[in-house]
Amino acid sequence: MIDLNASVVNVDQPPRSFGEKIYLGPIISGLTVTLRHFVRNFFGRKDVATIQYPEEKHEYSERLRGRHILITRDEGELRCVACFMCETACPADCIHIEAEEDPSAEVEWEKRPVVFEIDLLRCIFCGLCVDACPKEAIVMSRTHELAFARREEAIVGIDQLRQTGAMEDQDLGYRPYF
């Protein structure tokens, strides 16, 4: 048996007082609120909420899930071994991989991707591909401003996804943590 009335707080408001009935009281207190914000923002610029977007950017955390990056090894080859785990884990089926045997590999039967395409317009940026990767070959960057004029432009392949430059220069976002 549960006593639903054990900890209940009644929020009913009392009937309106005379000052409230003639509109004036609450209007004045309301105007005080807006005027306080106005004066503080106008003279002090203390708590202006607006950011001047293209020039000034909101600081996102290091976990932001933006566009993907395919990480490369030191010698410039992709880390990806085409194990299809990200493709399996993707709820949107937006990853398309075609694999081939890696000719430069020391071990026989090592694979690498020939085609690695992500349809950025299908992608829901959930990060499950990053969690699924056993090689930390796919991570996410903080590039999240993605606009396209045509749908075909949004299907990006290895060339666009490949890491460019050193790891420190990447604007890295969501990566596997545990």
Q: Which of residues 42-81 bind another protein (CB under 8 A)?
A: 49-54, 57-58, 60-61, 63-65
Query: Does residue 149 touch another protein according to CB under 8 A?
Result: yes
Stretch that binds another protein, among 68-76, 97-105, 124-132, 158-166 (CB under 8 A): 124-132
- Site size toward another protein (CB under 8 A) is 76
Q: Which of 72, 96, 111, 126 binds another protein (CB under 8 A)?
A: 126
Distance between CA atoms of 116 and 131, rounded to whole angstroms?
A: 18
Burial of 146 (0-12, 13-18, 19+ CB in 10 A): middle
111: nearest Cα among 86, 89, 79: 79
Q: Which of 72, 89, 158, 170 binds another protein (CB under 8 A)?
A: 89
Contact 66, 143 (CB under 8 A): yes
Distance between CA atoms of 110 and 130, rounded to whole angstroms?
A: 21
Nearer to another protein, 49 or 103 (CB): 49
Q: Which of 81, 95, 97, 120 binds another protein (CB under 8 A)?
A: 120
Query: Does residue 104 touch another protein according to CB under 8 A?
Result: no
Q: Report the relative pairing of strands 68-70 and 95-101 from DSSP bridges.
A: unpaired
Nearer to another protein, 61 or 104 (CB): 61
Distance between CA atoms of 172 and 65, rounded to whole angstroms?
A: 9
Query: 13 to 42, contacts with another protein by CB under 8 A?
Result: 13, 16, 20-21, 23, 25-27, 29-30, 32-34, 37
Annotate each residue in 153-172 with x if it binds another protein (CB under 8 A) or - if it does not, as one string. Answer: -x------------------
Backbone φ and ψ of 36, nearest 5°: -60, -45
Backbone φ and ψ of 68, nearest 5°: -75, 155
Q: Which of 73, 110, 135, 171 binds another protein (CB under 8 A)?
A: 135
